Chain A
Amino acid sequence: MLFSLASGALTALALVQQIDTTVPAQQGQRLVVDGYAGEIDVKTWGRNAVRVEADPSSRSSVEVVSSGVSITVRTEGRRGPPSSVDLVITVPVWMGLDLSGVYTDVSVVGVRAPITVETVQGEVDVTGGEGLVSLRSVQGHVHLKGAKGRIDVHSVNEDVRVSDASGEIVAETVNGEIVLERVDATSLDAGTVNGDVGYDGPVRSGGRYTLSSHNGDVTLAVAENASAAVSVSTFNGEFESAFPVTLRETRKGKRFSFVLGAGGAQVSLESFQGTVSLVRPGQLRRSSEDDHDRDRDHDRDRDHDRDHDGNDDPNR
């Protein structure tokens, strides 16, 4: 019995191969990661080099290839799809990233360069990013913090959150809420079908800001010195404001507009059947308890799916 236990442990050790490799990086090179299942965890350091750490099982391998324009990290299965592989990758702060996977959670911290992330079933958490920052997940939240530039954040079945960021922003999901806090958007297009949308940040003169939802509430935090021409549209919803506004014009249906200050920015707030609200900065509604409940429900759904689907990836 003791022998067989020891023998099993040795076999398990033999099935896992530790990878820890470092390759030099040159300015202009991008990191391309093509994962399948597991985690991609990217952090930064002060060296012009890329370090890749992983512990793939014997069913998978990790390939690291450096070319003139990129350093590519790819997980591959020896027979069929690769099993779950967690990658920890350390890069220079200037290095642009293209990260993709299927059943993959992605985390990035500290990169000051363009970032592209695409996953199907996985969470995306990025802190940093400059230039084009494009993050997408089908079934997983997309959270971005501290980015600057052109920001494009999409989910399908989860929430999208952007904080402490600036630039042109497009945020979209279908079944989830969109929250933008401490964000300085020069333009904003945020829309969901089934969820709330909220923006707390300055509205810039000449900027165009569109917040829309079909089933959810739309909330804009407006500073007292804001300068914006605001149009509000709803079909079956309501409008409320934490401060008085003077309606400039009303149209047939529930549509009206008003001007704050000199009207420098163009703001459109639209909810088909939710409430459109104006609040003061710092008062953006955060229904944390609801979020917790929903996360728990999603987790339960996913666990239930995994328990009952013969077709699901066995590695998850």
Chain B
Amino acid sequence: MTDQWTDRLSEYLDDELAPEERAAIEGHLRHCVACGAVLADLKRIVIRAQGLEDRLPARDLWPAIAARIGASPPTTGRGDVVGLDAPRRRRRWSFSLPELAAAGIALMALSGGAAWLLHPVTPTVVAARGPVAEPSVTPGLTPALAPSGSFRIGLTPSRRAAGLSYDAAVADLEGVLTAGRGRLDSTTVRVIERNLATIDSAIAQAQRAVAADSANAYLNSHLAETMRRKLELLRQAAALVTSVS
């Protein structure tokens, strides 16, 4: 497999390749396991992303942006928010390889948050959310429950955004766990802490590996998968807290 093809899988998925390039990449995909796996991941993310609800912004941000960049005023005259059901180009969900893991993390954080919202419990303590450049610290948590550090590697905007979503979801769930840990027996708390620490250690190792080789698809997906495990365990722990409430 060559990086040339990996980086063009997103265009292939969006049907934006010339016919000869498309034929070439299809030939390549018939033999390349790694590209096939990346393409499958891309398709999964695109499907999940397309399933997200479109939401209008609360207000039109364009006038302020236009003023700051010196662009001409909006042609609608009133500066109204344009509805998402208005005619528009087909939405393009395109990812470069390094963005794939970030997109996956953002989506899992969103789905994690959505699942959490289904639980009819309002957390009484909400963990502090630190800026993405600093590790967020949750007062009262033991080190094992405290976040091991935000997703800060590769400071592209997409990764930063994914890191924010992930950190927010983790912080929310840790807040619920902190507030409710007194309702769980100490053995369960200890087991959860021990396993969170195990995952945090794996995340830290994977982060260091990605920092050293950011184009490595395996390391990126491994990091994303390990982070997903942490989110999943926190969701499970938070569900336990609510079930004994």
Interface string of B30-72 (1 = CB under 8 A from A): 0111101100100000000000000000000000000000000
**A121 near B33 (CB under 8 angstroms)?**
no
Q: Contacting chain B: which of A6-14, A46-54, A286-294, A301-309?
A: A301-309
**A253 near B34 (CB under 8 angstroms)?**
no
Complexed CA–CA distance, A193 and B223 (Å): 11
A174 at interface (Cβ–Cβ under 8 A)?
Answer: yes
Nearest Cβ in chain A — how far from B79, in angstroms?
A: 49
- In B164-223, which residues have CB < 8 Å from any A CB? 185-188, 190-192, 194-195, 198-199, 202, 205-206, 209, 213, 215-216, 218-219, 222
B236 at interface (Cβ–Cβ under 8 A)?
Answer: yes
Residues of chain B contacted by A268 (CB below 8 angstroms): 33, 37
Interface string of B221-245 (1 = CB under 8 A from A): 0100110010001001000100010
A104 at interface (Cβ–Cβ under 8 A)?
Answer: no
- The residue that A270 contacts in the complex, of B218, B236, B240, with Cβ under 8 A, is B218
**A157 near B191 (CB under 8 angstroms)?**
yes
Interface string of A214-245 (1 = CB under 8 A from B): 11000000000000011101010000000000
| Total interface residues in chain B, CB < 8 Å | 36
Interface of B is mostly: helix
Complexed CA–CA distance, A194 and B201 (Å): 11
Complexed CA–CA distance, A121 and B192 (Å): 12
**A255 near B216 (CB under 8 angstroms)?**
yes
Nearest Cβ in chain B — how far from A250, in angstroms?
A: 10
Residues of chain B contacted by A193 (CB below 8 angstroms): 195, 198-199, 202, 226, 229
Complexed CA–CA distance, A157 and B213 (Å): 31
Complexed CA–CA distance, A138 and B232 (Å): 12
Nearest Cβ in chain B — how far from A137, in angstroms?
A: 11
Complexed CA–CA distance, A187 and B210 (Å): 28
**A175 near B219 (CB under 8 angstroms)?**
no
**B198 near A231 (CB under 8 angstroms)?**
no
Nearest Cβ in chain B — how far from A74, in angstroms?
A: 14
**A139 near B188 (CB under 8 angstroms)?**
yes
Residues of chain B contacted by A157 (CB below 8 angstroms): 191, 194-195
Closest to B202 in A: A214
Interface string of A157-198 (1 = CB under 8 A from B): 100000000000000101100000000000000010110000
**B187 near A121 (CB under 8 angstroms)?**
yes
| Total interface residues in chain A, CB < 8 Å | 44
**A305 near B190 (CB under 8 angstroms)?**
yes
Residues of chain B contacted by A212 (CB below 8 angstroms): 222, 225
A29 at interface (Cβ–Cβ under 8 A)?
Answer: no
A79 at interface (Cβ–Cβ under 8 A)?
Answer: no
B1 at interface (Cβ–Cβ under 8 A)?
Answer: yes
Asked whether A174 and B31 contact (CB < 8 A) given A252-B213, A272-B206, the answer is no
Asked whether A251 and B209 contact (CB < 8 A) given A138-B192, A139-B188, A174-B229, the answer is no
**B219 near A253 (CB under 8 angstroms)?**
yes
Complexed CA–CA distance, A231 and B199 (Å): 24
Complexed CA–CA distance, A175 and B199 (Å): 9
Can you list 26 A-B contacts (CB < 8 A)?
A: A138-B192, A139-B188, A156-B192, A156-B233, A157-B194, A174-B195, A174-B198, A174-B199, A175-B194, A191-B225, A193-B229, A208-B40, A214-B206, A229-B31, A230-B33, A249-B32, A251-B1, A252-B213, A252-B215, A252-B216, A257-B32, A257-B33, A267-B33, A272-B206, A312-B186, A312-B187
What 4 A-B pairs have minimum CB-CB distances, sorted nearest first?
A233-B218, A231-B33, A229-B33, A214-B202
Q: List 18 additional contacts besides A157-B195, A231-B34; criterion CB under 8 Å.
A: A138-B191, A139-B191, A156-B233, A174-B229, A193-B198, A194-B202, A215-B202, A229-B31, A235-B222, A248-B31, A253-B216, A266-B36, A272-B206, A306-B187, A309-B185, A309-B187, A311-B186, A312-B185
